[in-house]
Every structure is written in C-alpha cells, then in structure tokens.
Amino acid sequence: MSWYRNTVWFVKGLREYTRGGYESASKHFNPADVEVDVTGRSFLVTGANSGIGKATAKEIARRGGTVHLVCRNKDRAEVAKEEIVTETGNQNIFLHIVDISNPKEIWKFAEKFQNEHKLNVLINNAGCMVNTRELTEDGLEKNFATNTLGTYIMTTALVPLLEKAADARVITVSSGGMLVQKLNISDLQSGNGPFDGTMVYAQNKRQQVVLTEQWAKAHRNIHFSVMHPGWADTPAVRSAMPDFYERMKNSLRTEAQGADTVLWLAVSAEATKLPSGLFFQDRQPVPTHLPLAYTHSPPEDEEKLMEVLEEFSQKFKSVSSR
C-alpha cells in the first residue's frame, strides 16, 4: 500500500500544501484571531534560529510575548536573536543553547528552566532529516533522537511548569508526510533493512501525532496540538531535500506562511475552543489518516510507544543528574 499512500499524499500536497493552497485557505482566516497582545505570557520555541521556528518567534515577539529561543548552534542563534529584537523592538528575548538530539542536555536545561522561569506555551519545532543512518554520542539514531525522543523529553520535563500556568499550550510542528506512515514500534531506531531518511522522518512525524493524542488524554489542563506547516521554503528543506526543493521551489510557501498555524495555535483564543490533541493544517483540524491507507494503529501499539519513550527518558534523566 505504500505506493498508494505516497501517490495520494503527493497529489494532496500539490493541491493543499503549496503556496497556492495557503493563499486559498487564508481567504477564510479571521485576521483578528492573531491580532492579540500576549505581553506577560512566556513562550519557548525549539529550533528557533531559522525557518518556521524563527518566523514563529518573531511574530510572537511582535505581539509582546516573552520568547525563549532554544537552539543548537550558538552563533546562528545569536544572529537570530539580534534580528528578532531589532525588528520587533521586544527586549524580552532569551537564548538557550541546547542540542535536542542529546537527552541529557534537555533534562539539564529543563530542570534549570523550571527554577528560573514561567512558561505558558511550548512550541516543539526543532527537527532534522538525516538521510544516512547516523548515531548520536548516546548511540541513538539521530532522527529518532531529535524528532521523537527529544520532543518527548522536552515536553514531559516541562509539563509540571505548564501545569502551573494559565491557558497552557503545547504545539508540535509535524508534517503531512506522516500520512504515508503507520506507527511502527518494532524498529524505532531504523536499524532493520535499508535506510530511507525521508520515510524515517515521516515515521517520526507520525510518532509526534500519537504523542500529542496521548498527552491530551493524560494532561487535561494543557491544550495540546500538532500541525503541518505545508511545504515551505526553509533552510532545512533546501539542505535535506534538495531534489524536492528544485522541483517545487517556485510553489513553496514562505516561512511566515508555514508558521501561520503555529502562531494561531499559540496565541489565538479560537484555537483552544477546539478539543485538545488534534492535528491542524491552515488553522483547521484535519484527519490524521488518508482514506484506504490502512495507517491506523491498535491502542496497545500507541501505549507501547509511550512506555518505551518513558524508559529512555528516565534512563537519561538519571544520568544527567549525576
């Protein structure tokens, strides 16, 4: 069925995920939804030094929010911070250098952050698509370490802080590519068979959808959502998918268009009127499975994913605290 899923997803993408799809959908947006003042509210954005993360951070800063930029590369992060401060006039922009593929670093950061700051909104945007099987210093496959385990640890480590906040939200930036994948818990680190970075990434993005649905059930005081930004012209797309970029570059969304739904989910009152745990595209909840694609998973597989990630998480937490 993979050829069917891939074909349907690509046709759907040409229609909905491109710049034309955004322009069509945006005709129905209410501009007032995001014309809000969020002064006094605290936002944490991972992967905030470029692309959709930086575009989101900049728009939140324009609206008066306190923004914590969590980035891996210190030099690029400092440039991004300076750009955001200069363009928005907002001085409440803080920088934290954390490698989201390193679970020990995330735990250390989260424990320190909880002691020093408040948090209303967590935006899990950091991600990677590594096209060969690479292992981190902890022996973790890099895509899994960043996209799935890193997102899991960052979120669960900060849930206690979010539980204390008014109108707490968690938004995870996923991908429509997850529509071509059924949750596979038998090979989370892609060690069996040939390695396809694009499909590994899509599997990670399916895992993020499952995480969001599970968190929504477990933490009723926090509004969880996951979203697809469409096909946007970002540095990550150019470097990780050069062939796709060359083929589609004239119809890709801008970074701001890709970030629009993240911003809407982060600041608008309308977003939290919808149930927690949904998957969004262009400010609307959309299905998480294609028709006839057979990508639904049994509940026990979804529960097993959470169990395995929690085991990893606790192992690295105990190491980080030594």
Active site residue 22: no
Q: Where are the alpha helices (DSSP H) in the chain?
A: 2-16, 19-26, 51-62, 74-88, 103-116, 142-143, 151-163, 197-218, 235-240, 242-248, 255-267, 299-320
DSSP string, 30-46: -GGGT----TT-EEEEE
Task: Take residue 222 and report the two structure tokens written for it.
Answer: 């926090």
At residue 8's C-alpha, the angle toward residues 262 and 282, to 5°, is 20
Determine contact, residues 64/246, Cβ cutoff 8 Å. no
Q: CB under 8 Å to 286, separation ≥6 — which residues?
A: 228, 279, 280
Amino acid at 288: T
Amino acid at 95: L
| Active-site position among 4, 22, 201, 294 | 201
Q: CB under 8 Å to 26, separation ≥6 — which residues?
A: 257, 260, 282
C-alpha 84/C-alpha 122 separation (Å) is 18
**Pairing relation of β-strands 278-281 and 284-285?**
antiparallel
Residue 47: closest CA among 18, 19, 76: 76
What amino acid positions are annotated as catalytic residues?
A: 201
